[in-house]
Amino acid sequence: MSRTPRVVTPAVFRWFAYATFLSMILIVLSGAAVRLTGSGLGCPDWPTCFHNRVAGSWSIHPAIEYANRMVTASLIILTGVTFVAALLRTPRRKDLTALAGSLILGVFADAILGAFVVYSKLNPWLVSVHLLLSLAMVVASAILYHRSKYLYGPGTRSDVRSQHFLRLARLLWIPFIILLMTGTMTTGSGPHAGSSQGQLTARRLPFAFSNAAWVHSVAATLFVGLVLGLFMMVWRTDAPMALQKGVRRLVVIALVQALIGATQYVLHVPPVLVELHVLGAVSLTIGVTQFHLRQTAHDREIGIAPSKTS
């Protein structure tokens, strides 16, 4: 007697995509916590912690670094399960399978890069790339979650809400990526090197923190100005409600992020505010991604009801 193969409905797969999306946010925040608590060298070996032992001593720094590695391990498992769920989903969609597969590759690449970060004694260039790669995975997981709720592919509705704003949404990625890169350069030249001995152990980028912060502030001012300009354009042109919601969120997040950034600089970058600034960077990354995705209208998957955040 043959068994009927198990299938995953679109509604169930959406929860897998949502869990993966949240986990990508968590890994960025836990990684930042490792650096800000000076725990980057809490486990001097990789993938084990210390001298072929899975865990090191349970003092604060090894514990924090080990906890971050457990988050990474959990993330590898979750992305693998999500990929399998994409294969078992009925109907199967190539875009969801490809996105889920790319997240597996991204997590493995991030883990390997983390090993290079440890063995290079927190090389600031590698730490910066580590953060940017993690944010790229936040983008990919946000797209996966979004697409899991809507119908994509041949024969489905894909109405561009506004060609003008679609072009602007694409162009907005340029100043945003510049903003992220200057932000990581500022972090890499700042006081939080990631090791408990601070700058005496881990090197910093070869330029002054004040200069990097100034360049980043210029990029931030430009980005906030562009977002405010988008808001005025959307408001004056009576754009569709989906675009209005997207740009309103961008404005709020960008302004709050700018306020946190200015405050942390004036207060000499206390770790708590830096962690909040990293959270703001993640929120802004999601906001820019969602604003881009909102430029086209798609029908919902069967069995997935609209939510207040859609």
Sequential pLDDT tens for the chain (310 residues): 445 456 889 999 999 999 999 999 999 998 888 888 777 777 777 766 766 665 555 667 777 777 888 888 889 999 999 999 999 999 899 999 999 999 999 998 988 898 888 778 788 888 889 999 999 999 999 999 999 999 998 888 888 888 888 999 999 999 999 999 999 998 888 776 655 544 345 677 888 888 999 999 999 999 999 999 988 888 777 777 878 888 889 999 999 999 999 998 889 888 889 899 999 999 999 999 999 999 998 888 876 766 655 5
The whole-model pTM stands at 0.89
Q: In the numeric block, which tokens belong to residue 305?
A: 């009801």
Phi, psi for residue 8 in degrees, rounded to 5: -115, 125
Please tell me what DSSP assigns to residue 149: H
The pLDDT value given to residue 58? 60
The pLDDT value given to residue 2? 46
The pLDDT value given to residue 96? 96
For residue 145, give every residue at least 6 positions away whose Cβ sits within 8 Å of its Cβ, in sequence order, or none: 14, 17, 18, 20, 21
- Alpha-carbon torsion angle 13, 16, 21, 24, nearest 10: -140
Residue 36 in contact with residue 146, Cβ under 8 Å? no
Q: In the numeric block, which tokens belong to residue 10?
A: 């679109």
Alpha-carbon separation of residue 247 from 171, 177, 219, 223, 267 (angstroms): 14, 18, 19, 13, 30
Q: In the numeric block, which tokens belong to residue 203?
A: 């090197």
The pLDDT value given to residue 116? 87
Domain boundaries, the chain: 10-151+159-297
Sign of CA dihedral 181, 135, 279, 66: negative
Rounded CA gap, 208 and 274, in Å? 18
For residue 79, give every residue at least 6 positions away whose Cβ sits within 8 Å of its Cβ, in sequence order, or none: 20, 23, 100, 103, 104, 107
Alpha-carbon separation of residue 214 from 32, 177, 219, 278 (angstroms): 22, 17, 9, 18
HSE of 117, CA atoms in CB hemisphere, 13 A: 29
The pLDDT value given to residue 207? 82
